[in-house]
């Protein structure tokens, strides 16, 4: 093998760098799902919790397009109820505190959605 | 063989029909609206239009219209060229430059209200590269603020100056934001939307509500609407009709 030493050293450096995130985090605490504030009023959400956890961003995007562009203001939930499609007027009526609900997961997962750049956080969070 | 296939297809068809009907029946029986916004309250029209009774308007009413609109839509207040406006009072010769002259027999009031004309042939919609501005089927020229990239083509295209651009963060110039309506961010264009959000709740536009009858709003295609009746009875003009934009805000003279 020509330049075997250099290749092996290079490979070793590459492997060490590539796996840096893994060994750097050895010993630090595992990811814990943040505790969210449960709404006091309203027992069920527009979709089951698991689905909301995974799909709420898509749902909000769909709601936005349907309301702004197609005048479709009512959401017929699979739970049989009809909801007014609105982040501030429907979602935040139950999940009253943005900091104890939205921000908890968003911060711990380091995502920063820009909803609140325009939408006004309703008061009423304690 | 062929008879049994026929039977099978018939059955399958009936089953599919049953499935498609059943969920809607279930839904109708348990339907419930959260809050007081009942389904079916929304106002509909083939062609929304407004008539401005220029004689009935006075300084006080105009100020009331501007204030309520700007308050419920979180329109920021600037004291500079960055001014943002959805509806505003302006002198007649500014609004109708081609139709005013010094020897007019009947001189109209000094000022009147100006807002987005919700043109039938809106130039702003044609130039918008992202379709952030679009026209609804009922004629309202809407904006999807989420999509606006702030290129300002629409502002160049609009011959009425109905559009404003957020040169700086509007939140800093809002005293008390209304939580029920979003604010905008820096770099977004905004304008009057004929209170589309109020129409879905079954309410008239806010300016019409406080105008003490000086602003009329309704369906242009409906001969019994307030707008149609007023236009039939009185002489009316529109802003810059020669441009072919077909404005849907009429001024009763």
B26 is a domain residue: no
- Of all residues in chain B, the one with the smallest CA distance to A118 is B183
Please, what is the average pLDDT of chain B? Answer: 88
What is the token pair recorded at B78? 């600037």
Partner residue facing A119 (CB), from B26, B31, B182: B182
B28 is a domain residue: no
- Alpha-carbon distance A6 to nearest alpha carbon in chain B (angstroms): 51
**Least confident range of B3-7, B31-35, B245-249:** B31-35
Q: What is the pLDDT of residues B193-238, one digit of tens each?
A: 999 999 999 999 999 999 999 999 999 999 999 999 999 999 999 9
Domain count, chain B: 1
Is A81 within 8 Å of A45 (Cβ atoms)? Answer: no
B2 is a domain residue: no
B16 is a domain residue: no
Residues on chain A touching B200 (C-beta within 8 angstroms): 71, 73
How is chain A split into domains, by residue range?
A: 44-112
Give the CATH number for residue B235: 3.30.70.20
Q: Which domain holds residue B197?
A: 48-252
Residues on chain B touching A98 (C-beta within 8 angstroms): none
B197 is a domain residue: yes
The pLDDT of residue B22:
53
How many C-beta atoms lie closer than 10 Å to residue B246's C-beta? 14
- Alpha-carbon distance A101 to nearest alpha carbon in chain B (angstroms): 18
Partner residue facing A68 (CB), from B39, B142, B177: B142
- Residue A81 and residue B142: Cβ atoms within 8 Å? no
- Alpha-carbon distance B243 to nearest alpha carbon in chain A (angstroms): 27
- Residue A64 and residue B74: Cβ atoms within 8 Å? no
Beta bridge partners of B50: B217, B249
> Which three-class secondary structure string do you get for chain B?
CHHHHHHHHHHHHHHHHHHHHHHHHHHHHHCCECCCCCCCCCCCCCCEEEEEECCCCCHHHHHHHHHHHHHHCCCCCCCCCCCCCCEEEEEHHHHCCCCCCCCCCCCCCCEEEEECCCCCCCHHHHHCCCCCEEECCCCCEEECCCCCCCCCHHHHHCCCCCCEECCCCHHHHCCCCCCCCCCCCCCCEECCCCCHHHHCCCCCCHHHHHCCCCEEEEECCCCCCHHHHHHHHCCEECCCHHHCCCCCEEEEC
Q: What is the pLDDT of residues A21-64, one digit of tens each?
A: 988 888 888 888 888 888 887 788 999 999 999 999 999 999 99
The pLDDT of residue A122:
83
């Amino acid at each position: 093998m020509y330049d075997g030493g250099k290749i092996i050293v290079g490979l070793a450096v590459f492997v060490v760098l590539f796996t840096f995130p893994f060994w750097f985090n050895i010993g630090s605490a595992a990811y814990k799902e943040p505790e969210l504030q449960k709404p006091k009023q309203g027992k069920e959400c527009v979709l089951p919790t698991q689905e909301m956890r995974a799909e709420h961003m898509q749902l909000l995007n769909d709601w936005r397009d349907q309301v702004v562009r197609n005048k479709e203001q009512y959401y017929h939930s699979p739970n049989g109820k009809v909801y007014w499609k609105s982040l501030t007027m429907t979602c935040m009526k139950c999940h009253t505190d943005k900091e104890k609900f939205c921000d908890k997961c968003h911060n711990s997962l380091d995502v920063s959605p820009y909803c609140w750049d325009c939408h006004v956080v309703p008061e009423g969070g304690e | 063989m062929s008879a049994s296939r026929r039977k099978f297809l018939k059955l399958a068809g009936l089953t599919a029909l049953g499935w498609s009907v059943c969920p809607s029946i279930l839904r109708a029986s348990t339907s419930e609206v959260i809050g007081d916004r009942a389904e079916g309250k929304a106002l509909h029209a083939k062609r929304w239009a407004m008539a401005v009774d220029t004689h009935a308007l006075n300084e006080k009413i105009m100020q009331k219209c501007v204030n309520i609109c700007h308050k419920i839509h979180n329109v920021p207040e600037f004291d500079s060229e960055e001014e943002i406006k959805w509806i505003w009072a302006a002198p007649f010769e500014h609004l109708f430059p081609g139709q005013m002259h010094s020897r007019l027999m009947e001189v109209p009031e000094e000022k009147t209200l100006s807002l987005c004309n919700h043109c039938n042939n809106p130039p702003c919609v044609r130039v918008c590269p992202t379709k952030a501005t679009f026209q609804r089927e009922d004629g309202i020229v809407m904006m999807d603020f989420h999509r606006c990239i702030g290129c300002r083509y629409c502002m160049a295209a609009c011959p009425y100056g109905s559009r404003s651009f957020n040169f700086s963060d509007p939140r800093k110039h809002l005293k008390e934001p209304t939580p029920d309506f979003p604010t905008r961010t820096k770099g977004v264009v905004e304008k009057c939307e004929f209170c589309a959000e109020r129409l879905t709740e079954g309410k008239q536009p806010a300016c019409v509500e406080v105008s003490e009858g000086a602003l009329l709003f309704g369906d242009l295609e409906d001969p019994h609407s307030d707008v149609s009746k007023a236009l039939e009875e009185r002489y009316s003009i529109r802003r810059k009709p020669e441009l072919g934009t077909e404005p849907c805000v009429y001024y009763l003279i």
